[in-house]
Amino acid sequence: MIKSSEQSYAAPFEGLNESEEDMSACKSGVTILVIEDDEKISEPLLFGLEKEGFCVIHASDGRTGLELSRTASPSVILLDLMLPDISGLEVCRVLRQESAVPILILTARGQEMDRVMGLEVGADDYIVKPFSFRELVARVRAVLRRRELDRVVAASHTAPDHLSIGKIVLDRKARQVWKDGTPVELSYREYELLRVLMENAGVTLSRQELLDKVWGESWIGDPRTLDVHIHWLREKLEDVTSSPQYIQTVRGYGYRFQPPSAS
């Protein structure tokens, strides 16, 4: 079911069959929140996603989008950057502080800096307007597969519950991290990245290895998201981010979690 302040729907994307007999709304059980104010984009997008079997809810401004994200618990959020009240970047920043829900940014701005800023505030992927509807659906399904794989891997992990290196303690069972006895709040992806690094302490992991282990081998997106998450981890775990004690860069290759005694 589509919830939207607008009740009239624009023509669907090219190639979509308008027959009601083909509609398969909510068959997947996956809820997608679309935060987009442009009716020319939102109406056919809502129609197309519902036809693909997704449950779809819609917000035409950032504040409504934040409210729906808290009350509807969506599986994925499609977020426009240019919103009429608060910016999509600010919405993304707030969402990432509250939830690990996958966020795909929709933006008409294709410049590199805009894409990087979206990743820096916590987006999982982005797609530039005008976009192919088939590509968008493929990206949505890819991020859902990655999230499900992450859950399966986490649930099947049989290693000891606790990892303790220097001042950092990671509890696999509770999915909690402490630094010097103080809890550290991490997003889902930050926690998984730290877990992989700590499980391989002292071993240099390539960028591709980390992307495969944390984001999944089928992940489609900007590989620089790894650098963004490393930056966030350093801000939360290192005493001096410009001179990291734990998470070290191996130039031209990847990263290593270095035990303090070996530094």
What is the CB-side half-sphere exposure of residue 151 using CA atoms within 13 A?
Answer: 7
Q: Give the per-residue pLDDT at 2.
A: 40
Chain position carrying tokens 């801000």: 235
Compute the distance between CA of residue 184 and CA of residue 44 in angstroms, rounded to an integer. 42
3-state helix, strand, coil in the chain (%, to 5): 40, 20, 40
CB-CB neighbours of 142 under 10 Å: 20
pTM for the full predicted model? 0.55
> Please, which pLDDT band fits residue 220 given cuts at 50, 70 and 90?
confident
The one-letter amino acid at 71: T
Q: What is the pLDDT of residues 177-216, one digit of tens each?
A: 999 889 999 998 999 999 999 999 889 999 999 999 998 8
Compute the distance between CA of residue 36 and CA of residue 62 in angstroms, rounded to an integer. 9
Phi and psi at 140, nearest 5°, equal: -60, -45
In the chain, CATH 3.40.50.2300 sits at 20-153
The DSSP code for 3 is B
Name the architecture of domain 158-262. Answer: Orthogonal Bundle (1.10)
The one-letter amino acid at 22: D
The residue length of the chain stands at: 263
Give the mean model confidence (pLDDT) for residues 89-103: 89
Q: Give the per-residue pLDDT at 256.
A: 94
| Mean of the per-residue pLDDT values of the chain | 82
**pLDDT for 13 beyond 50:** no
Compute the distance between CA of residue 80 and CA of residue 88 in angstroms, rounded to an integer. 6
Q: Are 238 and 245 in contact (CB under 8 A)?
A: yes
Q: Are 236 and 186 in contact (CB under 8 A)?
A: yes
Compute the distance between CA of residue 153 and CA of residue 136 in angstroms, rounded to an integer. 26
Q: Which helix (H) or strand (E) holds 32?
A: strand 31-35
Q: What is the pLDDT of residues 16-43, one digit of tens each?
A: 444 333 444 466 688 999 999 999 999 9
Fold exhibited by the domain 20-153: Rossmann fold (3.40.50)
Closest CA to 161 of 176, 179, 151, 173: 173
Task: Give strand ranges (E) for the chain.
Answer: 31-35, 55-59, 76-80, 103-107, 125-128, 162-165, 168-171, 176-179, 182-184, 205-206, 247-250, 254-257
Give the mean model confidence (pLDDT) for residues 217-224: 80
**pLDDT for 55 beyond 90:** yes
Q: What angle do CA 3, 91, 36 make, to 5 degrees?
A: 40
> Please, which pLDDT band fits residue 259 given cuts at 50, 70 and 90?
confident
Q: Which residue has the higher pLDDT, 143 or 152?
A: 143
> Please, which pLDDT band fits residue 246 given cuts at 50, 70 and 90?
very high
44-58, 144-158, 243-257 — which is least confidently predicted?
Answer: 144-158
In the chain, CATH 1.10.10.10 sits at 158-262
> Please, which pLDDT band fits residue 219 given cuts at 50, 70 and 90?
confident
